[in-house]
Every structure is written in structure tokens, then in C-alpha cells.
Amino acid sequence: MSFPGLIARRPLLTLGLVAALTAAAWTQASRLRLETSLETLLPRGAPASDDYRIFLERFGGLEKVFVLVLADGPGHESELAEAAGLLAEALEKSPEVASARSGVDPADEAFFLQAVVRRAPLLLGDGWRDEVLRRSRPEAIPARVAQLKANLLGPTGAARAPMAAVDPLGFAEGLRGLLSSDGSVVVDPLTMTFLSASGDAALVMVEPARAEIDP
């Protein structure tokens, strides 16, 4: 008897077998997924692959995601700082994010003061020795002390005090735009937030929790 004839003589059995095969295929198909995470595509047991997975678990992806918080115009520094801080806090709660920051943290500030500000004269170029001598002359000290007093008694005095303590002669005062080569991104001295020089945008830097292909 031919196969079509067998199907025609036992239609209920044929339908049952088709339904069973369909259910079995559906069970297997439901386990299929599209995997785009880079580390899952790497071989298991290879030293380089295993080290890369450990790196991702501890530090996240190498490529940062940059988020801009925009204001309607300049003069909204305080609102931008608050909004950027709230956004960074919300992003850090996501499992997709390793870390998010909207400004300088205490560790960054300590490194900046100790490693950069203390060596600020070296950033003046070839004439740094002459500039150090000029600012260190006895006749220049009283004017500098008066300027320091005015700065510390002003509204930004608390923010300026740590830098003044390690750089009393003011060699690092020109480093406010150090974050970018053209000075377009600066650190607000009051909130330590990453702001645009025009004061109409704040920057949030996000480090993904997974590989570079995902962000």
C-alpha cells in the first residue's frame, strides 16, 4: 500500500502524529534565541576569552555611551547639574549599565589635585621656570594673597579651597577646560558636573555592563 493510501485510510492517526510532531518541534523551537552578546560567541576554555569575560564582569564594555542633557539656553547650570545627577542615578539601577557618572567623583578630584595640580607649572611650556620665579618674588606674594582671600571669601570659595591648598600661586587656574582640547567641556566648580562651556548642556558618561557590540 502506498503512503498516500495509508494516510487516506487512517486520517485520525495521521492528524494525531502531525499534532505530536508539531508540538515536539514547537518545544525545541521555543528554546532558540538570537544571541548578540559578544562574549557568548567566544570559545569556552580559551585563556583570552575567559580573561575578557572577567574584564567585562568587573569593568563593563570598553566603549562608553555619552548622554547629553540639554537646556533651552545658557544660564541653567544648577538645573542641568541636578538633572544629570538624577539621570546618572537612574541609569546605574539598570542591569545593562556598569556605571554612570555626571561629574567628578572624590577619587577623580584627589587624583587631579595630587597628580595634575601639583605639576601644573610643567604645563606652562618652555618658560615655566621663569613664570615660577616671577610668581615667587616677594613683591608678587601680597597681591596673590589678596586675590586668594577674595576668591575664598566669594560664593565659590568652598569649591576653590582644595585647589588653592595645593596650588597657592595659581598655576592650575587655566586647567578648567582640561577635559577637552577646545575647552567645550568644563567642570562646574560648585557641583563638579560636566557642563558645556556655554552652560546649556550637561554630560553623562555611561559604561555598559556588556560587550562593545551591544551599546
- In tens, the pLDDT along 142-170 reads 999 998 888 888 877 777 788 888 888 88
Q: Which helix (H) or strand (E) holds 27?
A: helix 11-29
The mean pLDDT value for 184-194 works out to: 76
**Residue that wins the pLDDT comparison between 214 and 202:** 202
Instruction: Tell me the three cell numbers of residue 82.
Output: 541636578
Compute the distance between CA of residue 147 and CA of residue 133 in angstroms, rounded to an integer: 18
Instruction: Tell me the three cell numbers of residue 26.
Output: 514547537
Compute the distance between CA of residue 173 and CA of residue 179 in angstroms, rounded to an integer: 14
Closest CA to 171 of 102, 110, 120: 120
Quote the strand ranges of the chain, DSSP E. 65-70, 97-101, 185-187, 194-196, 201-208
- State the pairing for strand pair 185-187/201-208: unpaired
* Cβ 120 vs Cβ 172: under 8 Å: yes
Compute the distance between CA of residue 62 and CA of residue 105 in angstroms, rounded to an integer: 20
Task: At 5, give phi and psi (nearest 5°).
Answer: -65, -40
Least confidently predicted of 110-124, 127-141, 172-186: 172-186
pLDDT tier at 211, thresholds 50, 70, 90: low
The mean pLDDT value for 111-140 works out to: 85
The mean pLDDT value for 52-63 works out to: 70
- pLDDT value for 37: 66
Report the DSSP beta bridge partners of residue 57: none
Instruction: Tell me the Ramachandran region of residue 60: left when phi exceeds 0, alpha when psi lies from -120 to 50, beta otherwise.
Output: left
Instruction: Tell me the three cell numbers of residue 122.
Output: 610643567
Mapping DSSP to helix (H, G, I), strand (E, B) and coil, where does residue 178 land? Answer: coil
The mean pLDDT value for 17-30 works out to: 80
Compute the distance between CA of residue 128 and CA of residue 114 in angstroms, rounded to an integer: 19
Listed by start position, the domains of the chain span 1-32, 63-208
Question: What residue type is 156 in one-letter code?
Answer: T
pTM: 0.51
> Is it the case that residue 61 has pLDDT exceeding 70?
no
Compute the distance between CA of residue 194 and CA of residue 168 in angstroms, rounded to an integer: 25
